[in-house]
Amino acid sequence: MFLEKINSPKDVKKLRRKDLPSLCEEIRTALLQRLSKKGGHAGPNLGAVELTVALHYVFDAPQDKIVFDVSHQCYTHKMLTGRKQAFLYEQCYGQANGFTNPSESAYDLFTVGHTSTALSLACGLAKARDLLGQKHNVVAVVGDGSLSGGEAYEGLNNIAEQGTNFIAVINDNEMSIAENHGGYAKNLGELRRTKGKAKHNMFLALGLDYLYEEEGNDVNRLVNLFRKIKDCSRPVAVHLHTQKGKGYPPAEQNTEKFHSCGPFCLQTGEMLKAPEESYNSITRDYLQNKIASDKSVFVISSGTPAVLALDAPRREAMGKNFVDVGIAEEHAVAFASGAAKGGAKPVYAVFGSFLQRSFDQLHQDLALDNNPAVILSFWDSVYGMGGATHNGLYDVAELSNIPNLLYLAPTCVEEYLAMLDWAIDQTQRSVAIRVPAKVYHGSFVATDYSAQRSVVTKKGSGVAILAVGSMYRTAEQAAELLAQKGVHATLVNPVCLTSVDEKLLNELAETHSLIVTVEEGILDGGYGQKVASLLGDKDVKVKNFGLEKSFFGDFIPDELLARNGLTAEQIAAYISDFKA
């Protein structure tokens, strides 16, 4: 076995050319073992085995710098750079996470999980090299899907202008997470069809040199190619045609399902966990019905139709009422704003972590004119996506402090659907909704959310608990614990994150000695601090519960809540111990 002996890229270089395919097969077997047991980005990793082996065979990392865009294709790189045990032995799986990670290895240059960043990051590495008089190669590995992001285009532009050694490896597996969209993707398709000889070529147009390789999963052809361009003096785009899911028939046949997946049966490719009721499918079902009765409603996705549990047949069925703009969150928001101005009813559904790309567009392109588009931000929750690059816990400071924009926080499915229905049909303002991650059913339903009024759901005395959205259930539990001790807390559903209900808060301040806020997000810049500020010079004490400002990495959700004092028991204990 070759893989067992590889502790660094130096060991890869010791192999004979003819042994490289065997190494690739061993890697693929290890990948599938881990992926089937632990889940992860199956398709991208399976397709990038050969190009990664070839890169480490030819280039000299870590002197040569290799940056993986979005880095969900970096497992092979990890195996070849001292972390093979995390793929070979189940008990070691925890030693390497699914993204490049400088704290794991000097071969990992950046912590990356958002797309379209590698060209710009690597352009900076090349600039430093040139300025410091160094000579190494700089390589960025970028998927075709990532090229839809504006940041990638800005990077290509500046790489061309910089004009020195830069190797952009375009790993073209003909797919984003789902199918690709946009003019650039058509150009890539034309280049594939013509084996790189198409009349129009975006890379040449932007000023890079260009090479095409049809056999992007043939490790020895890639070695030849990379040897040819190593130490090149100009920026070059090396366009490789690879196969997503390569070598595992279920992943080759169902590329979208296997882009990123949970544990699966290696024999059959069946997923081991059945999908549960989720806000993703709840939202999809609602929107399908809504569109059936109102053809001016349409759904926007930015390359992640899974946000709405929309598989290909369902997307097809939605026709013109579904638009996937590719991984282009900036465009998605401006596009929604324009469509709302034009009289349509756009609903943009996106994971909160990725909506960060649209901060300026939310501010300037949408909220400034208060166009009535609807933004649904998913998985802004400790129960959402894991990892420092995907945690959606920073949304409240981002969205709630933008003027005009109304950011609603439903506490249950029924309240969410009422908000969503109201938001789509109203024509007065831009509305965002913080879609919860955990499904609770309840009954707080209003027909108009424009007044931004909070709701007292239970009248008590002494202490009032204002629990935002997903934390309402926790506050209810805290109130039950307190009731057992004879403390009868007032409970409030704030409803909206973008302002505090001043009238209600002033009333509460006069009748209570303690106001407690609870939110599932970073405390700084959030809801509770607004409450503390409003009441800072009143005769009432305020205590804010929320998450410390930090990147959290991988964590167990309930543990993270407990570490931040966000359990019902901890909240009840604070209130019990409080001396007015």
Looking only at residues 92 through 131 of this chain, which bind a copy of itself when binding is defined by CB under 8 A? Answer: 102, 109-114, 117, 120-131
Min CB(198)–a copy of itself separation in Å: 9
Using CB under 8 A, which residues numbered 480 to 499 contact a copy of itself? 499
- Closest distance between a copy of itself and the C-beta of residue 159, in Å? 8
Residues 15-54 that bind a copy of itself (CB under 8 A): none
Report how far residue 564's alpha carbon sits from residue 531's, in angstroms, rounded to the nearest whole number. Answer: 19
CB count in 10 Å sphere of residue 243: 18
Shorter beta-carbon distance to a copy of itself: residue 397 or 573: 397
Task: For 259-313, list the strands marked E by DSSP.
Answer: 297-301
Q: What is the spatial distance between Cα 561 and Cα 559, in angstroms, rounded to a whole number?
A: 5
Q: Least distance (Å) from a copy of itself to the CB of residue 269?
A: 31
Cα–Cα separations (whole angstroms), residue 297 to 41, 94, 320, 339: 33, 44, 10, 10
Minimum distance, C-beta of residue 253 to a copy of itself, in the bound complex (Å): 26
Task: Choose between 12 and 393: whose C-beta lies nearer to a copy of itself.
Answer: 393
Q: Which of residues 149-188 bind a copy of itself (CB under 8 A)?
A: 149-161, 181-187
Inter-axis angle of helices 49-58 and 20-38, to 10 degrees? 130
Provide the minimum distance between the beta carbon of 436 and a copy of itself in the complex, in angstroms, as a whole number. Answer: 21
Q: Select the residue interacting with a copy of itself from 398, 415, 476, 501 (CB under 8 A).
A: 398
Enumerate residues 412-471 that contact a copy of itself by CB under 8 A: none
For a copy of itself, give the closer residue by CB, 132 or 274. Answer: 132
Contact 95, 87 (CB under 8 A): no
Interaction pattern, residues 517-546, with a copy of itself; x per rule: CB under 8 A: -----xxxxx-xxx-xx-xxx---xxxx--
Please, what is the minimum distance in Å from the beta carbon of residue 267 to a copy of itself? 38
The Cα 398–Cα 361 span in angstroms is 12
Q: Give the footprint of a copy of itself on residues 280-309 (CB under 8 A).
A: 295-296, 298
Contacts of 367 (CB under 8 A, 6+ apart): 402, 403, 404, 405, 430
CB distance 220 to 17 below 8 Å: yes
State yes or no: residue 85 binds a copy of itself (CB under 8 A). Answer: no
Smallest distance from a copy of itself to CB 251, Å:
27
Q: Are 449 and 424 in contact (CB under 8 A)?
A: no
User: By the 8 A CB rule, do 559 and 383 touch?
Assistant: no
Q: Which is nearer to a copy of itself, 39 or 163 (CB)?
A: 163
Nearer to a copy of itself by C-beta: 37 or 234? 234
Distance in Å, CB of 290 to a copy of itself, minimum: 14
CA 408/CA 240 separation, integer angstroms: 45
Q: Which is nearer to a copy of itself, 42 or 328 (CB)?
A: 328
Q: Which is nearer to a copy of itself, 3 or 334 (CB)?
A: 334
Q: Where are the alpha helices (DSSP H) in 380-435?
A: 395-399, 413-425
- Please list, residue by residue across 518-553, b when 16 or more beta carbons sit within 10 angstroms of its beta carbon and e when fewer do: bbbbbbeebbbbbbbebbeeeebbbbbbbbeeeebe
Taking the complex as a whole, the smallest distance from the CB of residue 166 to a copy of itself amounts, in Å, to: 11
Answer for which of 52, 76, 171, 321 binds a copy of itself (CB under 8 A) is 321
Positions in 325-354 near a copy of itself (CB under 8 A): 325-326, 328, 330-331, 334-344, 346
- CA dist 518 and 409 (Å) reads 12
Closest CB 99 distance from a copy of itself, rounded Å: 11
Q: How far is the CB of 89 from a copy of itself (least distance, A)?
A: 28
Binding to a copy of itself (CB under 8 A) within 363-382 occurs at 363-365, 367-369
Residue closer to a copy of itself, measured from CB, 24 or 336: 336
By CB neighbour count within 10 A (0-12 exposed, 13-18 middle, 19+ buried), where does 50 fall?
buried
Pick one of 224, 254, 401, 511: the residue that binds a copy of itself (CB under 8 A): 401
Task: Output the DSSP codes for 213-264.
Answer: ES-TT-HHHHHHHHHHHTT-SSEEEEEEE--TTTT-HHHHH-TTTTTSB--B
85 vs 356, beta carbon nearer a copy of itself = 356
Neighbouring-strand partners of residue 171: 143, 240
